[in-house]
A = this chain, B = another copy of it.
Amino acid sequence: MAYRIGKHTIVFNQPPKISNYAAVVGTKENNGPLKGCFDVIEQDSKCEQKSWELAESKMQQTAITTTLDKANKKICDIDVILAGDLLNQCIGSTFACLTSNRPFLGLYGACSTMAEGLLVGSCLIDGGCANNLIASASSHFCSAERQYRFPLAYGGQRPPTAQWTATAAGAVLMEKSNNCEFCVTHAIIGQMIEMGIKDANNMGAAMAPAAYHTISTLFSDTNTKPCDYDIIVTGDLGDIGASLLVRLFEQDKIDITKVYSDCGSMLYGDTQDVHSGGSGCGCSAAVLCGHLLDEMKNKKLNRLVFAGTGALMSPTSLQQGQPIVGICHAVVIERREN
């Protein structure tokens, strides 16, 4: 049984274990600062599929099967899959999981989907509703660009505030266990915050206030401060959103800079022409499953806040003049000695 403390924080009595994980990325993602961290590198942007949409599904499916292989488990051993993506009607996840023949819960949290999956998954396992599960998410630069912005062949210019949708997928296997290497101890379901941003090329600014709200609520609910965590990562505010988040905390006289990073800023290097950094459900999923959880495994990190940030909008809502709504779901992941 979980219980609630403070305003919004859920505490898990038997913290669900993250027992394995895998990340799949494209070549651009593997040519950045995290080169070599990922399980599978897709050389072909179509992953030998007929469309970019099916390529995205293939990558998410590969992330799931690689996770299961690493855990020496079969898909039929899994109680439920929780998944989501950015494509209309979440078809990336549908076709990634269709052949699994396992119970499936579709989530929509835009780029916060990996965190939403970990969060809901933790609630299901801690509450006895599942013994194990897969949480997964994906995005693909090409499928996202043509759905949200312009046909790729149009070659539109991107402003400096724009983020680059990562061609990437990640999956984690969570299990009920008393014997944890690392586990999810706390979770916060984010609330939507909207500050009037209407520029789809400035998602970081739209999401930073939601990240601030969720992370500061975590601090106050659990009576912790930034130095109580080895790392606090948002995913994905990008460079501009991340600097806004730092400034929002400065107003509270809280310095998060010593422990703070953003998955969108970590994934790509300065020379990769991605402007404000990475984005997309797959960005934070791949940075978590390709890099951060390995750092925990290697005992370089013991306590991590994974704060997934999403921009809730559609091309239709933007064309109709509606603002971009930010949301941030967070989980605390702790390494524990066996």
Contact = CB atoms under 8 A, between A and B. Distances in A.
Contact of A129 (B94, B109, B127, B317): B127
A95 B315 contact: no
Contacts of A248: none
Interface in A221-278: none
Interface stretch (A39-47, A97-105, A160-168, A282-290): A97-105
Number of chain copies forming the complex: 2
A106 to B, nearest CB: 4
A94 B325 contact: yes
Contacts of A215: none
Band of interface residues on A: 35 or more
Contacts of A50: 320
Given A123-B129, A128-B3, A194 B98 contact: yes
Contacts of A194: 98
A54 interface: yes
Contacts of A220: none
Contact of A108 (B84, B97, B120): B84
A4 interface: yes
A128 B316 contact: no
Interface in A187-211: 187-192, 194
Nearest to A127: B127
A294 interface: no
Contact of A103 (B126, B131, B190, B317): B190
Contact of A123 (B84, B127, B192): B127
18 contacts: A53-B317, A53-B320, A54-B320, A87-B314, A87-B316, A88-B89, A88-B315, A89-B313, A94-B325, A97-B192, A100-B192, A101-B191, A101-B192, A103-B191, A104-B327, A105-B329, A108-B108, A127-B129
